[in-house]
Amino acid sequence: MITRRALLNASLAACAAAAFPASATAAGRLKQSVSRWCYQDIPLDRLCAEAARIGLQGIDLLQPSEYAIPARYGLRCTMGYAADLMTIPNGLNRRENHAAIERAFRAGIPLAAKAGVPNVIAFSGNRRGMSDDEGAENTIIGLNRVKRIAEDSGVTICVELLNSRVDHPDYMADHTAWGVRVAKEVNSPRVKLLYDIYHMQIMEGDLIHTIRTSIPWIGHFHTGGVPGRHNLDDTQEVNWRAVAQAIADLSFQGYVAHEFVPQGDPLTALAQAVRIFTV
């Protein structure tokens, strides 16, 4: 017996298949890439080849020794590590770290520029009892020390926003407003935010409104299903198609990198995410 619900679901599935055919590639308004660490079991060369086949434009979060590999497949590294000594818990919010971070960026950012890497990642660090105001002031001081390096090289430093509830307890840059405050004060076209949609959905929600009002200070996006940081599918609470449409409507020129831990066949999950963000 065919129920009304079954008929409706079948109709929706048919519409989805028409909207996102199996052969679709990322030919829409958004430039998409994929984070390397989520696909560690796939050799980087193969991941690049598959990413190019699916329609991606790049690979995110590579080390300098890996920067040149995506170019073999017509891709680029879209976000690089240029200062390994700066970690999620140990970052820019402590002045004692600034000299070492500056030295690392003076070496690492020109390497990124030479390889055509448009962005490098940065972290606030954990609070460890420090107030958010003090941490913001320290982070602004630290970024002011290195912004000229980024400006001269044409590379953007992106401070990542992460959740402190589930994955990174005590991390300071855990709300968009904090990051926007820092980016505004630094006031450089080469210092932006890495807006991780997964993390900010956990911390504050209101994604589309926040993205719209904060877009001048956002340089890069990451995706990841909530809850669990898995596939962008109907088990997740975020309306990914609507988020993709909102970002595209803002004429965003940076990259959206898929940073979820795939369930099932990893490349099938990645292709599905690419189709959703092809708007």
pLDDT tens-digit readout, 183-231: 999 999 999 999 999 999 999 999 999 999 999 999 999 999 999 999 9
List the structure tokens of 178: 């904090």
CB 226 within 8 A of CB 28: no
Domain residue spans of the chain? 29-276
Question: Which stretch of 14-28, 125-139, 190-204 has the lowest confidence by average pLDDT?
Answer: 14-28
Task: Say whether 193 sits in a helix, a strand or coil.
Answer: strand
How much is the average pLDDT of 92-96? 98
Give tens-digit pLDDT for 240-256. Answer: 999 999 999 999 999 99
Cis, peptide link before residue 189, omega less than 30° from 0: no
Within 8 A by CB and 6+ apart from 220, the residues are 78, 79, 119, 156, 158, 192, 193, 194, 195, 254, 255, 257
Question: Which stretch of 23-27, 91-95, 232-236 has the lowest confidence by average pLDDT?
Answer: 23-27
CATH class as words, domain 29-276? alpha beta
- State how far the Cα of 147 lies from the Cα of 165, in Å rounded to an integer: 30
How much is the average pLDDT of 161-168? 98
Tell me what pLDDT residue 27 has. 73
How much is the average pLDDT of 95-110? 98
- State how far the Cα of 201 lies from the Cα of 239, in Å rounded to an integer: 11
